[in-house]
Each structure stands twice: as structure tokens, then as C-alpha cells.
Amino acid sequence: MLFVWSYWKTIFTLPMNPSKEFHLSYSDKESLEREPRGESQQEVLRRAAKDLPIYTRTMSGAIRYCDRCHLVKPDRCHHCSVCDKCILKMDHHCPWVNNCVGFSNYKFFLLFLAYSLLYCLFIAATDLQYFIKFWTNGLPDTQAKFHIMFLFFAAAMFSVSLSSLFGYHCWLVSKNKSTLEVFRAPIFRHRADKNGFSLGFSKNLRQVFGDEKKYWLLPVFSSLGDGCSFPTCLVNQDPEQASTPGCLNSTSKNENHLFPAKPLRDSQSHLLTDTPSWSETSAKAEKGKVGKELILCCSDLFCSKLFLEDTV
């Protein structure tokens, strides 16, 4: 029942697309069409994306923009050539389920792989004794014995392929990556970082399965977030992000806007409480280094003075 339920949800759950906040306004579209390609178009896109939770860039450092959907791409969003849509946190387009696997149905896809693997292992284990009897001539000489052989081989082969695929996606969940991000690491404002979205095993697991453990094994949607913005481990390394915890509770100027001016501050504040920030650590190290240099300089001056007095 869980196998069929997960398979059904994986197939018929529609992939989530970026919300209207990421679509360009009519005036921005006209401005983008009038401007020649290059820095002028990027200026239009930067102006349109200034209040959006956008932290990733293209390889050239430009704003990620979809020419077909006419929208600014959210982080981890990609355009599917098969569906001809931008899919939030797209992992891949799966022909076995005839659907895109992304933010809305990634949990269902994982459960589908898990229950498929358990189902195949159960069939192979219960059929093993009859499969052995087939080769030892312990079964009646009927056509049914060939069905047993085919069933065992099918279950065993699917078990091998499903175990490798399920293990690979479990590794992706533990690292908070998608299949596309494995082949091309996300590029942030400062540099490319293949582990930019990784928050640790426990937090990465909750990103997909949610905080309520009672829903983890059920194919019901319980993933955290909205699919448009994601917490990142790159705290305070981005010049446009807050550098001190004191300003993490500031609110957006436009209260009607879906996203605050700094949408990832809540998650970053949680991270800042766990470990000291990069800037604070660097400042302390620099302060200690300067102090040591001052002591060495004073010591050298004192020794030089004594040497001159002894010489005189």
C-alpha cells in the first residue's frame, strides 16, 4: 500500500514553479527588451531582484534569468526542457514517473525508491527457496516453475539497481544536494561552493522530511520551506548579508511583500548561535596577531636601547 501510494504521489504531484514575485513586471520586460545584451540588461535584472532571496549566480556572476519563462530564477531552480517550465529545487526529470522530481515531490520519490527496494527484497527472499528447488529438480515439472525463475531474476535485478539509486539519493539528502548540483556546484556571489547549502546531517534530513518524525515514512508533504529560498552555511561571507547577530531581526520595509529584505536571516541567526561567525573569529585572530607584533616591536626597541647604553 505504501509503495503504490508513494508511486502515485510521485507521478501526480505537480512540480512547483516560482511564485509571481520572481516574474518580471511589464515595465521590466520592456526595459530588458530595449536594452542591449550585457551590463545594461544585468542592471535591469539586479534592480528587479534586489528584494528577492537570490544568493546564487551564473558562472559569469550574472543574475540567473530564464528567457523562456521570463523570470528571475530562485536559488536551486532550473528550467526543465521536457516540461518547459522552471522547477523549484529541480533534481532531475524522471521518465519512469513521467514527471519532474523537485521540491514538491522529492520526498515522495525517495519513499517510492525505499518501498520499491523493500518490496523487491521481500519478493526475492520469499522466492529464493523455490528458486533453489528449481535447479535441484525439487519442483513439479510444470510451466509454473519458469514463472518462479523469472520472478526471482526480476526481483533480484531490480533490487540491485534500486539499492544503488536509493543509496545515491540518501547521500544527496545527507549533503543537501540535488543531482544537478553534483554535476555543477552552485555559484554564490563570492565563489562556487558545492556544500553551500549543507547545514549538517540532521538539518539536511529535516529539509526534506520535516520536523515531525511521525510523517517521515508517510507520502505526505512535510518538507521545510517554500522552495524559493533556502538557508545557507555561508554565513557572513556574503557582503550583502548581515555581519552581526544584532540586526538579524530587522523587518522588511514593504510589509505586503512575500519575502523580507534578508530572507535567510532567521536560519543564519540559528547558525550563528551554534558557532561563532567568520568575521568575529577573523577579527579576534587579527587582534591577537597585532598584539603579538606590538610586543615584539617593543621588545626589540628595549634590547636596542640596552645595547647602545652598554656600547657608550
Residues belonging to the active site: 94
Within 13 Å and on the Cβ side, how many CA atoms surround 260?
11
Q: Which helix (H) or strand (E) holds 169?
A: helix 144-175
Contacts of 5 (CB under 8 A, 6+ apart): 219
What is the Cα–Cα distance from 17 to 248, expressed in whole angstroms? 29
DSSP assignments along 79-147, one per residue? EETTTTEEETT--EEETTTTEEESTTTHHHHHHHHHHHHHHHHHHHHHHHHHHHHHHTT-S-SSTHHHH
d(CA 193, CA 186) in angstroms, rounded, equals 6
Residue 117, judged by CB atoms within 10 A of its CB (0-12, 13-18, 19+), counts as buried
Phi-psi category of residue 79: left, alpha or beta, with phi > 0 → left and psi -120 to 50 → alpha: beta
Residue given cell 552581526 in the structure block? 244
Grid cell, residue 82, equals: 521536457
Burial class (CB within 10 angstroms; exposed 0-12, middle 13-18, buried 19+) of 136: exposed
Residues 6+ apart with CB under 8 A from 198: 175, 176, 177, 204, 233
Q: What is d(CA 301, CA 312) in angstroms, rounded to the nearest whole number?
A: 17
What is the spatial distance between Cα 232 and Cα 41, in angstroms, rounded to a whole number? 28
